[in-house]
Amino acid sequence: MDTLRTFKTGSGVEGRFHSLPALSEQGFPNLGKLPISIRIVLESLLRNNDGLKVTEKDINNLASYNAAVPGEYEIPFVVARIVLQDFTGVPLLVDLAAMRSAVHGMGLDAKMIEPLVPVDLVVDHSVQVDYAGTAASLEKNLDLEFHRNRERYEFLKWGEQAFDTFKVVPPGIGIVHQVNLEYLAKCVLEKNGVYYPDTLVGTDSHTTMINGLGVVGWGVGGIEAEAGMLGQPVTFLVPEVVGVYLTGELQTGVTATDLVLLVTEILRKTKVVGKFVEFYGPGAKALSLPDRATIANMAPEYGATMGFFGIDEVTTGYLAGTGRSAELCATVENYYKAQGLWGIPTVKDALQFTQVVEMDLSSVKPGVAGPKRPQDRIDVDNLKAKWGELLAAPVAEGGFAKTESKTAVVHVNSKDGVADKIGHGSILIAAITSCTNTSNPSVMLAAGLLAKKANAYGLKVNPSVKTSLGPGSRVVTDYLTKTGLQEELDKLGFQTVGYGCTTCIGNSGPLDSGIEDVVKAEDIVAASVLSGNRNFEARVHQSVKANFLMSPPLVVAYALAGTVDIDLATEPVGKTPKGEPVFLADIWPSGQEITDAMTSSLKPDVFQRLYTGFSDQNPKWNEIKSSTGDVYEWDRESTYIQEPPFFEGFSPAPRDIVEIHGARPLGIFADSVTTDHISPAGAIKMDSPAGRYLREKGVGFADFNSYGSRRGNDRVMTRGTFANVRIKNLMVPGIEGGVTSIGGETKAIYDAAAIYQEDTIPTIIIGGEDYGMGSSRDWAAKGTNLLGVKAVITKSFERIHRSNLVGMGVLPCNFVNKEDYDKIKDLADAIFDLTGIDNDLKPMQTATLQVHPSTGESFDVPVIVRIDTPVEKDYYRAGGILPYVLAQILD
């Protein structure tokens, strides 16, 4: 196809590009009506057409895209770059190091294993809020972070010198998605004189934040990212594209957080899982870039693959405002105009979508979401009433089954034993955290302005509330300091605790011991308030059962109130030293105050200064020493980094697809089991299988660290799979935690799996709706594989987890008839056969699950094998993506 054309770059010279308008003239007249996101993917197909990984048929399929009936073909999407965060990036690097060791062991050149696209890893998930509420919190937390993670950081430094295209942004710089937004993303890239859109995948669900900048990208598992790094396309089924037509504008006092919580609620109900979502209309066009990024960030919460905004003058204005060059900004504008992709359409039928959802921004009200899911939105003025309902509602209905109020006195040991009172609904954690909001100056400055007004009234935060501020980048600290608002936040206890993902991913650190003891003894349903994107059970803190997402200024307001059992529309947030009531309306900043603060503090030179010379700005990182060479020197005694077993017995020949016979259930789960439930996350309990392993290795309990920090050690991670303290295995009714039933006994899931593996008995997992929803956690799939699970059979899967299971050689299946799940969910003693599968397996083929209860007659249940594409069949036959890629490299 002849599509190579030229355009004028920002420097005034001609640059070459693969022209979509030129393709349109070659038999695709409707191309200009396709969703913008689809056309950007199509450009990648044009540019990477080699007749092998990408063919003309692939181009024809997507160029003929029919939004009403997209079809079922696969798209081989070659991305321009990869972004990683350290929790998922470390195991990815471990796998690459293991591949190099395997190649080296064959007597071949280890440098055969090398990323073929640029890879940036941002260390942002390792900081924990051990210290909060003091001026020394940041420095103390950073010291602890380096102490706990030295082995991991040594390993990352080895990786940076071993691989030519692997770069590390060290700790203390910012959250990966904000660093991507403010620094890494370019919107247009160039190679060998050919210009093309900036596209990526990242090993974190919220990679979608970059969609707000007009960059196509989403979160994948690290195993998919590894394949992309090594030259494999990211293959996915052609998606439906849902257009969200925005009109109107936000009312005064309504934030971008309020908007995105409503978007999440509406789009979850719209059922956009696995679909592209594209925002357009006059309301979308008028949104600021940070507001667009906030909405794009939460695409995983509304279930979409992407939450995309097109590129326009707002985009280039943001690029300029964050220190990108005038030449780049001009290149971006000229390129997208040449491609016919410039601007956000404002006419409702300008583009063809599978479905259009309309939203009037003026209808958005201040809201929060919780207490267990981000899509469960509640208007702020209705939270008190809703809290009363939730508190009394049965656990099975999402409540807490508490019919009586409770008050208990606590002594806050960290504050010299000062006394406080807590009860159901008391806020114990108030955190301004998460990539979703800390990248948005309007809500961060609003929090500071609210704190300033609260201080003027003499309001205080209760001593039992653990307050923290985790900015997404040092730019936030700069503008808060310039405006004097950091000092105001400090006075209320919101001192900066670190630059990275803190409370939102469970790195909230310990509660005060005096509080923790009372919460457990009195069984108090305590609350947290955070400006995050995830509030699943046991994620924020294992002792805090109710967790509410909200904007940064509301976090400060609720911290002052001290409870979620309050109507902020009618009840005071607090009282002055003279006892006079102060209401939320008294301290809420005006839109003009926020605008003035933004205008005075946000300058391009700040971004340029803070995003150069990372090593010079981080002495602790410079002190880290590492090994050198192309092949990693594994330390067999390390409890952080171990060579994984994924290449043991490697053979380039594909394995046969065989039926599964005599399988026992390792776990039977209800709806909404998340990757947080499955994957090892949070603290490691002393008496858990992982805790026992570490103690056997001579690690003291104080140095256990978290599962996240030990993701490079499969011995720890396999023991922690399904070990979440809140997971409910229906095989052991009435018990929470990672246990199962085996031979009439209750054992840890890992211990039972070890027995089954010793006896060569296959195991399966049974699940309900949305199995695997949440972050793209590799170890939810890796651990499932290493526990010996052969198949996972559910009502439905979240997109990334299903893909990851295939990528680890585990067979995902869905019930054809969802009601068949009810026939199985109570059969803890049953034996299962999965029949009707062999080497001729077709994508989405039907198979049969034969169920043999311990009492009663056997019966058959039809299931769909969720091998969705031909290449996934190849992955499965190879035993996973990694062995498949290695076989391809060696071929």
226 with 882: CB under 8 angstroms?
Answer: yes
pLDDT at residue 344, as a whole number: 98
pLDDT at 682 exceeding the cut of 70: yes
425 with 546: CB under 8 angstroms?
Answer: yes
Position 42, amino acid: L
- Please give the share of the chain, as a percent, with pLDDT higher than 70: 100
Cis (ω within 30 of 0) for the bond into 21? no
**pLDDT tens track for 533-557:** 888 877 888 899 999 999 999 999 9
More confident residue, 564 or 680: 564
| 3-class DSSP state of 605 | helix
**pLDDT tens track for 842-859:** 999 999 999 999 988 999
More confident residue, 888 or 809: 809
Burial letters for 68-100: b for 16+ Cβ neighbours within 10 Å, e otherwise?
Answer: eebeeebbbbbbbbbbbbbbbbbbbbbbbbbbb
**pLDDT tens track for 690-712:** 999 999 999 999 888 888 789 89
pLDDT tier at 494, thresholds 50, 70, 90: very high
Any residues with CB less than 8 A from the CB of 298 and at least 6 apart, and which? Answer: 206, 208, 260, 263, 264, 307, 374, 436, 533
Which single residue is written with the structure tokens 């114990």? Answer: 428
Return the CA Rg of the chain: 26
DSSP assignment of 205-230 equals GGGGGGGGGT-EEEE--HHHHHHHHT
pLDDT at residue 868, as a whole number: 86
404 with 398: CB under 8 angstroms?
Answer: no
pLDDT at residue 776, as a whole number: 59
Any residues with CB less than 8 A from the CB of 40 and at least 6 apart, and which? Answer: 197, 199, 216, 341
pLDDT at residue 126, as a whole number: 81
Polymer length in residues for the chain = 891
Q: On the CB side of 186, how many CA atoms lie within 13 Å of its CA?
A: 15
Tokens representing 207?
């990679």
Domains of the chain, each with CATH number or no CATH: 81-363 (3.30.499.10), 367-602 (3.30.499.10), 655-674+755-890 (3.20.19.10), 680-720 (no CATH)
CA 534 – CA 258 distance, rounded (Å): 15
Per-residue pLDDT, averaged over 645-663, amounts to: 94
841 with 867: CB under 8 angstroms?
Answer: yes
**pLDDT tens track for 29-56:** 999 999 999 999 999 999 999 887 899 9
502 with 436: CB under 8 angstroms?
Answer: no
Tokens representing 518?
């009372």
Per-residue pLDDT, averaged over 825-832, amounts to: 96
C-alpha distance from residue 119 to each of 230, 313, 464, 492, 539 (Å): 11, 28, 43, 40, 29
Residue 266 gets the label, from left (phi > 0), alpha (psi -120 to 50) or beta, of: alpha
Per-residue pLDDT, averaged over 367-383, amounts to: 94
**pLDDT tens track for 783-828:** 999 999 999 999 999 877 898 899 999 999 999 999 999 999 999 9
pLDDT tier at 111, thresholds 50, 70, 90: very high
pLDDT at 866 exceeding the cut of 90: yes
- In 3D space, the residue among 84, 402, 122, 363 whose CA is nearest the CA of residue 246 turns out to be 363
pLDDT at residue 1, as a whole number: 80
Any residues with CB less than 8 A from the CB of 625 and at least 6 apart, and which? Answer: 154, 157
Tokens representing 183?
């620094």
CA 137 – CA 495 distance, rounded (Å): 7
Per-residue pLDDT, averaged over 863-887, amounts to: 92
CA 612 – CA 478 distance, rounded (Å): 15
What's the N-to-C CA distance of the chain in angstroms?
29
Any residues with CB less than 8 A from the CB of 468 and at least 6 apart, and which? Answer: 129, 132, 133, 137, 429, 430, 431, 432, 433, 494, 495, 497, 502, 503, 508
Per-residue pLDDT, averaged over 404-422, amounts to: 91
- Please give the share of the chain, as a percent, with pLDDT higher than 90: 79
- In 3D space, the residue among 680, 671, 673, 675 whose CA is nearest the CA of residue 775 turns out to be 675
Most confident listed range (52-56, 261-265, 772-776): 261-265
Per-residue pLDDT, averaged over 207-229, amounts to: 91
pLDDT at residue 834, as a whole number: 98
pLDDT at 666 exceeding the cut of 90: yes
- In 3D space, the residue among 378, 606, 618, 366 whose CA is nearest the CA of residue 483 turns out to be 606
The mean predicted confidence, pLDDT, of the chain is 93
